[in-house]
Homo-oligomer: A and B are copies of this chain.
C-alpha cells in the first residue's frame, strides 16, 4: 500500500522502464528504494538481483521490482536466494496470481517484452493483491 517501501533494480536493458516505474510509484505515494543500475552502460543482471535479495533480506524493503531485457535472467538470479519468490510476469493476470498462489515478494518484468502501461498495471496488481494461503502456503514451505 502507499507508504510502503518498494525496492527497484534493473540491468542496462531495464534501466528506462525502471526509471519510469520509479517515477510512477512515487506519484502513487510509495517510497522507492532504487538499487540501480543508473544508466545505459552494460552491467551484469545477477549483481542487481543480489542487491534486491539483500534489500529484502535486511528489511529495507518488503517488495521489489526487477527489470532486465526479458525478465528471465534477473528472475533466475533472484530465485537463487532463499526468501525471494520472484515472479516473472507479462500481464496483470500473472501478476495477480503470483500474489494469490505464490506469495511472490518480487516481480520481474521484461523491458523488451512489454510496454510501460502493461508494466505499470502488472506492478499495481502485484502490489494490491493478497496471498490466499491454505494449500498454497504448504507448497511455498516446500521450496528448497
Contacts and interface: CB of A to CB of B under 8 A. Distances in A.
B72 A144 contact: no
A98 to B, nearest CB: 5
B77 A143 contact: yes
Contacts of A80: 79-80, 82, 143-144
A81 interface: yes
Contact of A135 (B42, B97, B138): B42
Interface in A74-118: 75-77, 79-82, 85-90, 93-94, 97-98, 101-102, 104, 110, 113
Contacts of A50: 144
A139 interface: yes
Interface secondary structure of A, over-half rule = mixed
Contacts of A113: 93-94
Interface residues of A, number: 38
B142 A70 contact: no
Nearest to A135: B42
Contacts of A42: 135
Q: Among the interface residues A73, A81, A86, which one has the most CB atoms of the partner chain B within 10 A?
A: A73
